[in-house]
């Protein structure tokens, strides 16, 4: 297997993971937590966390359960 083949395999794997709702929700939560932890102003940090939770809630409410949990 050449380096190009391995890179293509890794690229396909990462793209498949990014297309999953759980990955998107996880990245939103990580970004919200990072924003909350990194911001100096407490109210801005709390707002970042609330926006992240809001986005995850919207994703959970908007997508069907079969999409979210592969049932």
Residue-by-residue pLDDT tens, the chain, 71 positions: 799 999 999 999 989 888 887 888 888 888 887 776 666 777 777 888 888 888 888 888 887 777 766 65
Phi, psi (deg, nearest 5) at residue 30: -65, -45
So where are the chain's domains?
21-69
Structural contact between residues 52 and 29, judged by C-beta atoms closer than 8 angstroms: yes
Model pLDDT, residue 8: 93
Model pLDDT, residue 38: 64
Expressed in angstroms, the distance from the first to the final Cα of the chain is 35
Model pLDDT, residue 9: 94
Model pLDDT, residue 36: 67
């Amino acid at each position: 297997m050449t380096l190009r083949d391995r890179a293509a395999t890794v690229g396909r794997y990462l793209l498949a993971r990014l297309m999953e709702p759980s990955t998107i929700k996880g990245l939103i939560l990580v970004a919200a937590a990072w924003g909350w932890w990194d911001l100096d102003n407490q109210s801005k940090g709390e707002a970042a966390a609330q926006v992240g939770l809001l986005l995850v809630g919207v994703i959970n409410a908007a997508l069907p359960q079969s999409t979210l949990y592969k049932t």
